[in-house]
């Protein structure tokens, strides 16, 4: 398995953003201008600071656990689950370099979330290497034990049986309905929200790399609510210079750059690339004045991009122990004075 880099040493990035429209009063609604955000990272700890935040929020962000657990109900599907059932059986912990595995890392991460008394667990896909019934039941039970609210959106592997006939949309629809549905807790699997202390976490399924019209309209509606928003997606949003894995709204995405369709036994990405709707979504996301940031997965590698003033954070894979412990915090008076106030 490919090794990944993480911020080995203490690394702090401070992003002072869009310092206009400074008066957000106390209701957390963004009245005018872009929300001013500072974002810092130290190891696994990510902190967002904003004048518009009054109450502290802690979330645990988990992506790409790649559980492969299966039982006899999976036997008829082995033809489609074979490769991925062996992909992450034994992993190396991203910090300790010790041998571990997805079940162990998932349980350990939930334990940390519990100890931190987290307000929310955000699960942004590839929790599973294929839609195994026993793995989904096991996750639901572990999440229930924590007693912590969670929000889930799928990754490209969660619903994918490799080599099974059908378009990506059809396969996603089929296996979401047949297997993944309980994870959505009654929300629309393609788009859902959870509000925590006035901040709205929006899960949008972009696991086919594409966004549909209904999802775009839904996102616009959330933006117009004026609430502080955090966007959760599996596939990172395109940022200049990044690889094709940053595939949502990526001008290079399409048949020409699809190097793994044979390996993954799925239809090749379209010749024409993204739909206009997907590009429009990218524009909307990075024009949203009340968006604190984007949290994603898929690449199995930590990264932090700043796109038109909005931070996007991609998390190391949980299969190797990766996760982020994220705080949303009010800005202290001294920080407001230094960073937000002009002479
Ligand atoms: Fe993925």
For ligand 1, the distance from its centroid to the CA atom of residue 73, given in whole angstroms, is: 24
What is the CA(22)–ligand 1 centre distance, in A?
Answer: 38
Is 26 within the bounds of a domain? no
Q: How much distance in Å is there from the Cα of 53 to the middle of ligand 1?
A: 31
11 within a domain of the structure (yes/no): no
Q: What pLDDT score does 17 carry?
A: 43
pLDDT of residue 29: 52
Whether residue 125 lies inside any domain: the answer is: yes
Average pLDDT, the chain: 88
Residue 311 CA, ligand 1 centroid: distance in Å? 20
Using the mean position of ligand 1's atoms as its centre, give its distance from the Cα of residue 74 in Å: 21
Contact 307, 316 (CB under 8 A): no
Taking 60 as the threshold, does the pLDDT of residue 12 lie above it?
Answer: no
d(CA 163, CA 80): 6
CA 142 to centroid of ligand 1, rounded, Å? 22
338 CA to centre of ligand 1 in angstroms: 40
Predicted confidence band at 261 (pLDDT cuts at 50, 70, 90)? confident
pLDDT-derived band of residue 82, with 50, 70 and 90 as boundaries? low
* Domain CATH number, residue 224: 3.60.21.10
Q: What is the mean pLDDT of residues 291-313?
A: 96
Contacting residues for 234 by C-beta, under 8 A, at least 6 apart: 63, 124, 125, 126, 153, 154, 155, 156, 205, 206, 207, 296, 297, 298
What pLDDT shows up at residue 285?
98
pLDDT at residue 295, as a whole number: 98
In the structure encoding, which two tokens stand for residue 278, read together?
């997907």
pLDDT in tens, 111-163: 999 999 999 999 999 999 989 999 999 999 999 999 999 999 999 999 988 77
CB-based contact 339:330 (threshold 8 Å): no
Assigned domain for 319 exists: yes
129 C-alpha to ligand 1 centroid (Å): 9
Q: How many residues does the chain have?
A: 343
**Residue 144 within any structural domain of the chain:** yes
Report the distance separating Cα 250 and Cα 252, nearest Å.
5
User: Distance from the CA of 320 to the center of ligand 1, in angstroms?
Assistant: 14
Q: Evaluate whether 327 touches 251 at the Cβ level (below 8 Å).
A: no
**Residue 2 forms part of a structural domain:** no
**pLDDT for 34:** 80
For residue 20, what are the contacts with CB-CB under 8 A and spacing of at least 6? 32, 33, 34
Centroid of ligand 1 to alpha carbon of 259 (angstroms): 15
pLDDT at 5: 42
Ligand 1 centroid to Cα of residue 38, in Å, is 28
> From ligand 1's centre to the CA of 97, what distance in Å?
22
CA of 51 relative to ligand 1 center, distance in Å: 34
pLDDT for the residue numbered 36: 85
Q: What is the pLDDT of residue 32?
A: 58
Which pLDDT score is estimated for 209? Answer: 97
pLDDT per position as a tens digit, 203-219: 999 999 999 999 999 99
CA 19–ligand 1 middle distance (angstroms): 34
Please give the distance, rounded to the nearest whole angstrom, from the Cα atom of residue 209 to the centre of ligand 1: 10
Q: Mean pLDDT throughout 318-341?
A: 93
pLDDT for 14 beyond 50: no
CA of 20 to the centre of ligand 1 (A): 36
Q: How far is the CA of 126 from the centre of ligand 1 (A)?
A: 5
CB 323 within 8 A of CB 44: yes
Q: 229 - beta bridge partners?
A: 200, 291
- Above 90 in pLDDT, residue 15? no
pLDDT above 90 covers a percentage of the chain that reads 69
Which domain covers residue 274, as residue numbers? 48-340
42 half-sphere exposure, CB direction, 13 A CA radius: 4
CA 123–ligand 1 middle distance (angstroms): 12
pLDDT digit string (tens) for 40-59?
999 999 999 999 999 999 99
Out of 55-64, 86-95, 189-198, least confident range:
86-95
Q: Is residue 309 part of a domain?
A: yes
**How far does residue 233's CA lie from ligand 1's centre (Å)?**
10
3-state SS, one letter per residue, for the chain: CCCCCCCCCCCCCCCCCCCCCCCCCCCCCCCCCCCCEEEEEECCEEEEEECCCCCCEEEEEECCCCECCCCHHHHHHHHHHHHHHCCCCCEECCCCCCEECHHHHHHHHHHHHHHCCCCEEEECCCCECCCCHHHHHHHHHHHHHHCCCEEECCCCCCCCCCCCCCCHHHHHHHHHHHHHHHHHCCCECCEEEEEECCEEEEEECCCCCCCCHHHHHHHHHHHHCCCEEEEECCCCECCCCCCCCCCECCCCCCHHHCCCCCCCCCCCCCCCCCCHHHHHHHHHHCCCCCEEEEEECCCCCCEEEEECCEEEEECCCHHHCCCEEEEEEECCHHHHHHHHCCC
Q: Residue 186 half-sphere exposure, CB side, CA atoms within 13 Å? A: 1
Query: What pLDDT, on a 0 to 100 scale, did the predictor assign at position 20?
Result: 32
Question: How many A from CA of 157 to the centre of ligand 1?
Answer: 6
Q: How many independent structural domains does the chain possess?
A: 1
What is the rounded CA–CA span in Å between residue 82 and residue 72?
14
The answer as to whether 14 is a domain residue is no
Ligand 1 centre from 313 Cα, in Å? 15
pTM beyond 0.85: yes
Confidence tier at 18 by pLDDT (50, 70, 90): very low
> Measured in angstroms, how far is the CA atom of residue 166 from the centroid of ligand 1?
19
pLDDT over 70 (residue 27)? no
Percent above pLDDT 70 for the chain = 89
Handedness of CA 226, 227, 230, 234 (dihedral sign): negative
């Amino acid at each position: 398995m490919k090794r990944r880099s993480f911020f080995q040493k203490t690394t702090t990035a401070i992003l002072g953003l869009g310092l206009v429209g400074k008066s957000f009063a106390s209701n957390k609604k963004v009245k005018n201008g872009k929300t001013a955000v500072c974002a810092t990272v130290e190891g696994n700890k990510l902190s967002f600071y904003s004048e518009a935040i009054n109450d502290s929020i802690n979330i645990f962000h988990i992506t790409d656990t790649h559980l492969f657990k299966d039982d006899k109900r999976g036997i008829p599907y082995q033809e489609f689950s074979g490769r991925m059932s062996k992909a992450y059986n034994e992993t190396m912990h991203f910090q300790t370099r010790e041998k571990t595995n997805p079940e162990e890392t998932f349980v350990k991460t939930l334990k940390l979330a519990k100890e931190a008394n987290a307000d929310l667990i955000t699960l942004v896909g590839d929790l599973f290497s294929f839609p195994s019934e026993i793995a989904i039941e096991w996750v639901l039970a572990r999440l229930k034990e924590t007693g912590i609210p969670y929000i889930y959106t799928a990754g490209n592997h969660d619903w994918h049986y490799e080599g099974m006939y059908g378009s990506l949309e059809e396969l996603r629809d089929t296996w979401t309905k047949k297997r993944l549905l309980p994870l959505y807790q009654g929300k629309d699997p393609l788009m859902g929200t959870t509000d925590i202390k006035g901040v709205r976490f929006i899960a949008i399924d972009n696991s086919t790399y594409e966004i549909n019209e209904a999802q775009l309209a839904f996102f616009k509606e959330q933006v117009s609510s004026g609430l502080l928003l955090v966007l959760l997606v599996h596939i990172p949003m395109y940022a200049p210079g990044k690889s094709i894995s940053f595939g949502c709204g990526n001008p290079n995405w399409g048949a020409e750059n699809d190097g793994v369709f044979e390996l993954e036994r799925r239809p090749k990405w379209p010749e024409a690339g993204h739909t206009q709707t997907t590009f429009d979504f990218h524009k909307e996301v990075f024009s949203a004045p009340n968006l604190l940031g984007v949290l994603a997965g898929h690449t199995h590698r930590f990264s932090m991009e700043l796109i038109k003033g909005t931070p996007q954070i991609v998390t190391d894979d949980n299969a190797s122990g990766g996760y982020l412990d994220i705080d949303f915090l009010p800005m202290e008076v001294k920080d407001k004075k230094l960073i937000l106030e002009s002479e």
